[in-house]
Amino acid sequence: DGGITQSPKYLFRKEGQNVTLSCEQNLNHDAMYWYRQDPGQGLRLIYYSQIVNDFQKGDIAEGYSVSREKKESFPLTVTSAQKNPTAFYLCASSYLAGVLTGELFFGEGSRLTVL
Amino acid sequence: GIQVEQSPPDLILQEGANSTLRCNFSDSVNNLQWFHQNPWGQLINLFYIPSGTKQNGRLSATTVATERYSLLYISSSQTTDSGVYFCAVEETSGSRLTFGEGTQLTVNP
């Protein structure tokens, strides 16, 4: 089945450690996105990528890094520089029509807890 | 950047009731999408609706782009409709969606 796979679903990290969240899609979508959601709040954009080997910062990129070496994959690294990393992280993808974003599809999310 | 406001923030209904959720946005947009987040966190795309009206079963949505708002109608609500409903808009500069804070809907049996 086509879709977006995020792993792990749950992750615990000690302060000072980097952690990488995986996101893979087999929808042949051009664009991929990482969002952060805190309890009771909306989604905030961390990074997005419209093409392989290129990506742009979103609204809250500090303390995060990404790569886009393959069309299907867009991993997110939460670095030790992120001051409050405990959150729910959602990966999404969409097709592009020129610069316009198509329907956005989401993975099931990864819950990161810093101990 | 563009501002997206959703109302009401919380809504409690009895099963079978109808409801209307609103999304206001502060600038012109290329498109608008509605999502439902279930209690386990999964987000499902309900509508891609830059303008006009669409219907999908008991749900329908209308976007009036010139007046900068969209409405999501839920008829004959069911307990499985519970969750958070988000709207998201894409500014005319393109490339990304901005989300509202959501409407928390609870449907009681």
Q: In this model, does residue B99 exceed pLDDT 70?
A: yes
The span from the CA of B60 to the CA of B70, in Å, is 11
Is the pLDDT assigned to residue A12 strictly greater than 90? yes
Looking at beta carbons, which residues of chain B come within 8 Å of A35? 99
Q: How do residues B76-85 score in pLDDT, each as one tens digit? A: 999 999 999 9
Q: Is the pLDDT of residue B51 over 80?
A: yes
User: Is A50 touching B (CB cutoff 8 A)?
Assistant: yes
Give the nearest partner residue to A42 out of B33, B42, B99, using CB atoms.
Answer: B99
Query: pLDDT, tens digit, for every residue of A56-100?
Result: 999 999 999 999 999 999 999 999 888 899 999 999 999 987 777
HSE of A42, CA atoms in CB hemisphere, 13 A: 22
Judging contacts by C-beta atoms under 8 Å, the chain B residues touching residue A100 are 30-31, 90, 94
How far is it, in rounded angstroms, from Cα B56 to Cα A36?
29
- pLDDT higher than threshold 90 for residue B107: yes
Q: What is the pLDDT of residues B59-74, one digit of tens each?
A: 999 999 999 999 999 9
Mean pLDDT over residues B19-24, rounded? 98
What is the average pLDDT score of chain A?
Answer: 93
What's the rounded Cα separation, in Å, for the pair A103 and B49? 10
How many CB atoms are closer than 10 A to CB B37?
Answer: 21
Average pLDDT for A11-38: 95
Q: Are A23 and A5 in contact (CB under 8 A)?
A: yes
Rg of chain B's alpha carbons, rounded to an integer?
13
Across-strand partners of B51? none
**Mean pLDDT for chain B?**
95
Instruction: Verify whether the Cβ–Cβ distance A105 to B48 is below 8 Å.
Output: no
**What's residue A1's pLDDT?**
63
